[in-house]
Amino acid sequence: MAIITLSTDVGQQDYLVGAIKGQLLSQDERHNVTDITHYLSNTNYPQAAYICSNAFKYYPVGTFHLVILNFFDTAINHVLVAKYKDQFIICPDNGILTLIVGEKPKEVIKLGLQGEHNLLGRTGIIAKAITYISKNAGFFKATEAGTVSIVEKYPLKPSIGSDWMEGQVLFIDNFENVVINITQEEFDEQRKGRSFIILVSRNEEITTISNNYASIGEGDKLAWFNSAGYLEIAMNKGRVASLFGLQGYNEHLVKTGTVTQNKWFYDTVKIFFV
């Protein structure tokens, strides 16, 4: 048996999630299948990676994480199976793997989908592979894991100067709290004990780091480091994103002359050290 998590972009309006769970349990009814989310953004890969990476690390050794994200965005006829920190991640070969783990895993293989063109046909193959790998501990040692070429994408890093740093909006939650891609470690390293000004918008500043929402009054804004260790801009009983017009990452195709390329669009928050 295996612990298997599901992180998908298919929603829960139809039968697909239930059918995938049925496929997994039909392989071994002792499998423990659990949901992380079925509302990953298929246009915001950094946000999807933020959700997955910060959930996966709390699961035990040997867990299988199945990530279904833009399964049909390209004509790829395989998925990736990676072993990373003694867990397994199964996902499409579209860059989400390296966004989740921050590097190319040393142990990764391609799992052929054998001409399957619909979602349940593909997840049926994956269900069999999970069951096989869970029962064969030496599977990766017997393969050429790590020698394959995969699509690699990596998270944006904050820009840094001698007395400033600028981060991008990484995630906006249901309460419209805004997560910035600056970790507490990066902030402290750049701050060097100095005072600081977090410029939320042209006329809105924050000059302290709070411990929680209760440390400020209702309607006041705050900055704090959330459970994932990232800088978060929030408001006690308010919606920061709407109030200050902050938006998350988006990727668009832009045509310049005869060249079409992907362009990233995102809002930023700047911090000055004094």
Domains of the chain, each with CATH number or no CATH: 3-142 (3.40.50.10790), 159-273 (2.40.30.90)
Comparison of pLDDT for 203 and 33, the residue scoring more: 33
Quote the pLDDT of residue 32: 97
Residue type, 2: A
Quote the pLDDT of residue 262: 54
- CA atoms of 211 and 199, how far apart (whole Å): 19
Query: What's the average model confidence in pLDDT over 150-176?
Result: 93
Q: Is the pLDDT of residue 252 over 60?
A: no
Residue-averaged pLDDT of the chain: 89
**Gyration radius of the chain's alpha carbons:** 21
What are the b/e assignments for 123-152, b being 16+ CB within 10 Å? bbbbbebbbebbeeeebbeeeebeeeebee
pLDDT band at residue 72 under the 50/70/90 scheme: confident
Among residues of the chain, what percentage have pLDDT more than 90? 70
Quote the pLDDT of residue 203: 80
Q: Is the pLDDT of residue 257 over 70?
A: no
Quote the pLDDT of residue 254: 46
Lowest mean pLDDT among 19-33, 107-121, 184-198, 204-218: 204-218
Query: What's the average model confidence in pLDDT over 213-233?
Result: 90
- Contact of 135 with 124, CB cutoff 8 Å: no
Among residues of the chain, what percentage have pLDDT more than 70? 91
The closest alpha carbon to 19, from 118, 117, 97, belongs to 118
Quote the pLDDT of residue 249: 66
List, for residues 136-155, the tens digit of each pLDDT value.
877 877 566 667 899 999 98
Quote the pLDDT of residue 251: 56
DSSP string, 211-254: SSGGGS-TT-EEEEE-TTSEEEEEETTS-HHHHHT----EEEEE
Query: What's the average model confidence in pLDDT over 265-273?
Result: 87
The closest alpha carbon to 245, from 188, 162, 172, belongs to 172
Query: What's the average model confidence in pLDDT over 150-178?
Result: 93
Query: What's the average model confidence in pLDDT over 90-103?
Result: 96
State phi, psi for 55 to the nearest 5 degrees. Answer: -90, -45
Quote the pLDDT of residue 36: 98
Q: Is the pLDDT of residue 265 over 90?
A: no
Query: What's the average model confidence in pLDDT over 97-102?
Result: 96
This prediction has a pTM of 0.88
List, for residues 192-201, the tens digit of each pLDDT value.
999 999 998 8
Lowest mean pLDDT among 53-67, 86-100, 205-219: 205-219
